[in-house]
Amino acid sequence: MHTDTAHRFLKLAIIGVSTLLFSAQLIVSTSFAQEEGQEPPAYEHLKQLEPFVGKWQGKFDPPGNAPLGTITVTTAWVGNKSYLYSEVLYTPDGMDAVLNQGNTMIGYNWKTKSVHAWEFGWVTQTSMPVVVTENKMMMEGGEVFSRNENRTPKTTTVELTDPNTIVTTSHHLKNGQRVAYEHLTLKRIE
């Protein structure tokens, strides 16, 4: 097997295992704190995110030399509605390969009394606060754990522009200036 391909598969396996372990820990911890048949207390703080649940898809022009492709985002409740889980898949045009671009868990942080996101990607893992308003969420700053020394905190805004359309915009800081590096329009497919 080619070394680059082996490294890609290893990265996918590591991301998958870390996300699975993190998800299992979250699900187990919430199941003990809840009585039978009751909504978990965290859901009260997260219910504004309900319109984002579903399967979404759109065209993606990745940075660098990667080919154009399709992004598919599947968002669902886990842990009996204590967390919102999103999986992002990228399919390059003209290829059968599907690549996992990352996973995000959004939950209520009882310590800070705020909504929080944990994002696991190819190069970075990010922990950041989430501001939720009607039909919009903004994830900003937070801690970025990266192999790439130049990675800076980012801001991602996800807005439900109508019941079947999400627009996401991401920025990072470069020389003190906000620089847009990703803009996607996703349509609900399920």
Per the DSSP assignment, residues forming a β-bridge with 176 are: none
Tens of pLDDT, residue by residue over 50-108, are 999 999 999 988 767 778 899 999 999 999 899 999 999 989 898 888 877 789 999 99
Lookup: tokens for 52? 């984002």
Q: What is the tens place of the pLDDT at every residue in 149-161? A: 555 667 888 999 9
Q: In this structure, are residues 70 and 57 in contact, taking their beta carbons and an 8 Å threshold?
A: yes
Query: Would you say 86 and 139 are in contact if contact means Cβ atoms under 8 Å apart?
Result: no
User: From CA 42, how far away is CA 34, in angstroms rounded?
Assistant: 10
β partners of residue 162: 165
Q: List Cα–Cα distances, 94 to 9, 58, 97, in angstroms.
A: 20, 15, 9
Residue ranges covered by each domain of the chain: 3-188
Q: pTM value?
A: 0.73
Multiple choice CATH, 3-188, 3.30.70.360, 2.40.128.20, 3.40.50.450, 1.20.1440.230: 2.40.128.20
How far apart (Å, rounded) are the C-alpha atoms in residues 9 and 103? 16
